[in-house]
Structure 1
Amino acid sequence: MNFMPSSITDVLGIEVGQFTDSRRPTGCTVVLARGSAVGGVDVRGAAPGTRETDLLSPSNVVERVHAILLAGGSAFGLDAASGVMRWLDEQGIGLEVGPARVPLVPAAVLFDLPLGDPRIRPDAASGYAACEAASKDAPAEGNFGAGAGAAVGKIFGIARAMKGGIGSASVTVEGVTVGAIVACNALGDVVDPETGRVLAGARTADGQALLDTRRALLQGVGATPMLAGSNTTIGVIATDAVLNKMHTGRLATMGHDGLARAINPLHTLSDGDALFALATGASGKTLGMMTLGTMAAEVTALAVVRAIRAARAVTAGSLHLPAWADLA
């Protein structure tokens, strides 16, 4: 994979802000499109935690949104979206509806409650703080924002898992950029798509080495029962290409190909995997969907790998999650 510095903020019209709670590993990440962007979504996991995804259907009236929120805290974390709305409202950003402007903020959450005190989770103040921190700078990767409490490789129990995180990447073709930011909290392992090598995931019983979940399951090793929704990888794909709503939704769909290259197994009954897509149109150009979809899958896979490579070990109570760097 190409690890040259790049991020979703390379996309014209996109900013990112993050809030990381110092009291325990959790937080939220906001992707802002101040000038609004055409929105789309594709939810593949069987246990999603989402907000305002129906309005992104191509059959529904609303075409453009103003921000996407990614948060920890399970369903509690959806509260952070109200803080994003408040911040946007104060900036005069929103859909004109009669005498008012209504900011449109779809959101998705991941489950990070096992790390530390589960009563501490992102709230409206967290979402507002993430907006206050938003900029065109490349977002911090690893244990930040929505990835602060993320873990991967939980199929054989959280005690044998490893630290997940958040990562971002972008690619540019013929003056059009596609970028992604992904918070990886997968039930499965994270794999380098270029080599097929497991980077992080379930560990052996002694905790000293990677198990390789795919091979273990195919050899008949039984998985530990998991609660629905107790995992989830969520992210945003953005482009400055000119796209309509249907094509933006297709960009999110093709982005899931990138998740499938980097996470195995994926889209399980215990994951709520969801990818949003934003098209700002700021480049004034477009490319064929074949090229844009290929770019979307590429940056999504790369963002997952970068999240894992940037993650650092955490200890919360009796639970210790090593990171990629510890076992590499």
Structure 2
Amino acid sequence: MKNLLTDIAGVRVGHAENAKVGSGTTAIIFDSPAIAAIDVRGGGPGTREGSLLDLASTQERVDAIALSGGSAFGIEAGGGVQAWLAEQGRGLNIRGAVIPLVPGAIMFDLLNGGDKNWGRFAPYRDLGYEAAVAAGHDYAEGSVGAGLGATTATFKGGLGSASAVLDNGIKVAAIMVVNAVGSVTVGEGPWFWAAPFEENGEFGGHGLPPKFTPDMLAMRIKGGPAAAARENTTIGAVVTDAALTKPQAKRLAMIAHTGFARAIYPVHAPTDGDVLFAAATGEKSIEPLVGLTELGTVAANVVARAIARGVYSATALPFPGAQPAWKDRFGA
């Protein structure tokens, strides 16, 4: 176990970034189509193929998931991932027509200091293609891929991962892009709200403060009271090797979304676009009631850990006035 999404067999992850723009894309590639669902709880989401994952829709499996910066421009990243899959002959076959299915979600990183004057077309389709080409079993965390331009209310945001194994051998893992309107740290840190779920000092081992003060519990939001809509979002995916139906994957996404609330304060705000995908590769059977509940419980913990790791692993962008990283203040 590497504490990565790729601890789930048949899953690969790749990043692509544009340092000048200060933004990037992450591709999650399934070696075989995976059952997938989505749960949206933020007030300003941006998604691609979200309706495909609705329980009323016929199609159950997807070939990949695209996560991207760029706000609405970043939705094109899914087209780049789709283009790479098409080159591999991957996709839904309809009487000889092959159509790769790539849902996606985007987050707002247009005000982080990068040069967004990219001309007629945004770079995200090309970044999506590059991320798919780069997909493998090892990948970096922090200010990489879709997490390159991420920020939070207090420290630089980023991309984080975590994984776990249940007692029955079923695995679950998460990858999260943390660009929240709220804070991932208690007050000004160094403590993370997700501290009760930390394993092996994966985000510093500071635990929780010995005492909570009113200042620690005060609301800290990005941009202050004048924060504009759609400037924030935490997006990601939780993947398991359990055999789930599409409704069960939806339930997993709903339970795992609890991890947002365990790691971000406040969360699911009108100016957030919080989106979580859930996917299942279908290798191991699971009891549909207690078993699924246990899987969701652990998945929520994994999501919370991945969110904390995204901020813990981040580095500041090299732009004037860029938001400092957690490690700039507290070290490793």
Contact 2:62 2:101 in 1 (8 A): yes
Q: 1:145 offset after TM fit, Å?
A: 0.3
The residue type paired with residue 150 of structure 1 is A
**Partners of 1:28 and 1:146 within 8 A in 2:** yes
For residue 78 of structure 2, the aligned residue among 77, 81, 90 is: 81
Contact 2:25 2:124 in 1 (8 A): no
Alpha-carbon distance change, 224 to 122 in structure 1, aligned in 2, over 3 angstroms: farther
For residues 285-311 of structure 1, give each alpha carbon's deviation from its aligned partner in whole angstroms, at most 9, with x where no partner exists.
325111110121011001011111101
Match for 1:41 among 29, 38, 41? 38
TM alignment of 1:96-107, pairs within 5 A: 96-107=93-104
CA contact (8 A) 2:42 2:272 kept: yes
Are 1:293 and 2:296 an aligned pair? yes
Is 2:316 the partner of 1:313?
Answer: yes
Distance 1:272 1:212 in 2: 28
Number of the residue aligned with 2:206: none
Q: In structure 2, give the amino acid aligned to 1:151.
A: T
How far apart in 2 are the matches of 1:70 and 1:242? 24
Shift of 1:195: 5.4
When the two structures are superposed, what TM-score results if normalisation uses the length of structure 2? 0.86
How many angstroms apart in 1 are the aligned matches of 2:35 and 2:326? 36
Contact 1:258/1:297 (<8 A) preserved: yes
Q: Conserved in 1, the CA contact under 8 Å of 2:27 and 2:67?
A: yes
Question: Does the 8 Å CA contact 1:71/1:122 hold for their aligned counterparts?
Answer: no
Q: Any unmatched runs of 5+ in structure 1?
A: 154-160, 200-210
Shift of 1:313: 1.8
Partner residue of 1:152?
A: 152
Q: Which residue identity is paired with 1:324?
A: W
Structure 2 distance, partners of 1:29, 1:65, is 16
**How far apart are the structure 2 equivalents of 1:245 and 1:295?**
19
1:174-231, Cα deviation, whole Å (9 max, x unpaired): 22110000000000000422359xx9xxxxxxxxxxx99763349xxx9421111101
Unaligned runs of 5+ in 2: 186-191, 198-202, 204-212
**2:173 is equivalent to residue 171 of structure 1:** no
Change in Cα spacing, 1:61 to 1:194, as seen in structure 2 (3 Å) is same
- Go from structure 1 to structure 2 and tell me whether the alpha carbon gap of 1:195 and 1:6 turns closer, same or farther (over 3 Å shift): closer
SS in 2 for 1:175: coil
Answer yes or no: is the 8 Å Cα contact 2:263–2:307 preserved in 1: yes
Tell me if structure 2 keeps the 8 A contact 1:229–1:271. yes
Matched residues in 2 for 1:92 and 1:98: separation? 14
Once the two structures are aligned, what percentage of the paired residues are identical? 44
Name the SS for the 1:313 alignment partner. coil
Matches of 1:17 and 1:97, distance apart in 2: 28
Distance in 2 between the 1:16 and 1:195 partners? 28
Could you say what the CA RMSD is over the residues aligned between the two structures, in angstroms?
Answer: 2.2
- The Cα offsets for residues 74-127 of structure 1, whole Å up to 9 and x where unpaired, read as 000111111111110111110111220111100100001112112345421111
Structure 1 residues 247 and 142 mapped into 2: Cα distance closer, same or farther (>3 Å)?
Answer: same
Length-normalised TM-score, structure 1: 0.87
Structure 2 counterpart of 1:118: 116
Where do residues 126-275 of structure 1 align in structure 2 (5 Å cutoff)? 126-137=127-138, 139-153=139-153, 161-173=154-166, 174-191=168-185, 192=192, 193-194=194-195, 215-217=217-219, 223-275=224-276
Q: Secondary structure at the match of 1:319?
A: coil
